[in-house]
Chains A and B, each alone.
Chain A
Amino acid sequence: MINPLIGLHAALGEFAVFAFLWVFVEMFNPNEKSIERAKTAATLGVLLLIGTWFIGGISYIFFYTPDVKPVILAGPDSWAHEIFTETKEHIFLFMPIIAVLALATLNTFGDDIIRNERARIGLMILAGLVVLFGLSMAGMGYLISSGARDALEAGVGLVA
């Protein structure tokens, strides 16, 4: 059966990426209103990342590890777990840290970002980094689910 937690984990993560993309775009030509919107987007992004962290953790420990991991490892694409799940589950832990850093930069400088070019670029680097890491998470998620599908197509897990 399809586990809804995986979908929720992916959805929260994608909306977090959109939130930081929003922050990035608002910083192209900042004014008081766009700073306020960026603060809302960054706060939402941090909360969504914390949500995807918890939901992803629950599904990884209680669903993926006992049910999906053995199927992928027994299938033709064991690299999907051994390289990409291992990389994804660990690199993900960088994302909330960078996201909180972006939110703190935005809140600390506030409207000064309009005049402080270096603060604006510093914030754009952090927001862009969250987006890039988020997109790489989605790509690795695709490879992992492809590994599980390939294993099922190869007959792994079928009872004779």
Chain B
Amino acid sequence: MHLRQGLVWLLDRINLKGMHIAAVVSMAVLTIVIIAAELSEGFKGVLTLLAFNHWIAKSIIAFAVFAGITYLMNKHEQGFLDKFDAEQWGKITSISSVLFAVIIFIFFTLQFFS
């Protein structure tokens, strides 16, 4: 119960538009990092060096970009919630995430067949 109250306290102070932008940007960055690491062994080596395993490094990058942009964009204007269109942003974020997921799947499929 305390944990839920803590999460509620943290998350009901968030600028949702900034958080949606953070989500789209972090997934885009992640997609670029994933493809770059597959195309460049040197880059994959750097990621491995940074965090023991390239997957851990990618996890940290995704979380850091998401948290960082959410924090930077967390300015509340008066009545921001009235202006925020949750449906439109839900669609933008979901279409982006599906698009990035499809790009990743197609990339690994092409890499397998090449």
Residues of A within 8 A of B (CB): 39-40, 43, 46-47, 53, 57, 60-61, 79, 82-83, 86-87, 89-91, 93-94, 96-98, 100-101, 103-105, 107-110, 112, 116-119, 121-126, 129, 133
- In the bound assembly, the distance between CA atoms of A108 and B89 in angstroms comes to 15
Main secondary structure of the interface of B (DSSP, over half): helix
Across the interface, A121 reaches (CB within 8 A) one of B23, B66, B86, namely B86
Query: How many B residues are at the interface, by size bracket?
Result: 35 or more
Q: How far is the CB of B88 from chain A (nearest CB, A)?
A: 8
Contact (Cβ within 8 A) A46 B7: yes
Instruction: Verify if B30 is at the interface (C-beta below 8 Å from A).
Output: yes
Instruction: Verify if B72 is at the interface (C-beta below 8 Å from A).
Output: no
Q: Which A residues lie within 8 Å of B53 (CB)?
A: 61
- In the bound assembly, the distance between CA atoms of A27 and B90 in angstroms comes to 15
Q: Which B residues lie within 8 Å of A94 (CB)?
A: 27, 30, 97, 100-101
- In the bound assembly, the distance between CA atoms of A46 and B100 in angstroms comes to 21
- Within 45-100 of B, Cβ neighbours of A (below 8 Å) are at 52-53, 55-56, 58-59, 62-63, 66, 81, 85-91, 93-94, 97-98, 100
Q: Look across to chain B and name the residue whose beta carbon is closest to the beta carbon of A127.
A: B90
Contact (Cβ within 8 A) A97 B86: no
Contact (Cβ within 8 A) A61 B55: yes
- In the bound assembly, the distance between CA atoms of A103 and B12 in angstroms comes to 9
Contact (Cβ within 8 A) A97 B55: no
Contact (Cβ within 8 A) B86 A133: no
Contact (Cβ within 8 A) B7 A57: no
- In the bound assembly, the distance between CA atoms of A157 and B4 in angstroms comes to 47
Q: Which of A57, A83, A93, A121 has the most CB of B within 10 A?
A: A93
Q: Which of B3, B12, B26 has the most CB of A within 10 A?
A: B12
Q: Which of A94, A98, A117, A133 has the most CB of B within 10 A?
A: A94
Given contacts A46-B7, A133-B101, 13 further A-B contacts (CB under 8 A): A43-B8, A57-B56, A61-B52, A100-B66, A105-B16, A107-B7, A108-B16, A112-B81, A118-B87, A118-B88, A119-B86, A122-B88, A124-B90
Q: Look across to chain B and name the residue whose beta carbon is closest to the beta carbon of A118.
A: B87
- In the bound assembly, the distance between CA atoms of A110 and B7 in angstroms comes to 13
Q: Which A residues lie within 8 Å of B90 (CB)?
A: 105, 121-126
Q: Which B residues lie within 8 Å of A117 (CB)?
A: 87
Q: How far is the CB of B52 from chain A (nearest CB, A)?
A: 8
- In the bound assembly, the distance between CA atoms of A47 and B23 in angstroms comes to 18
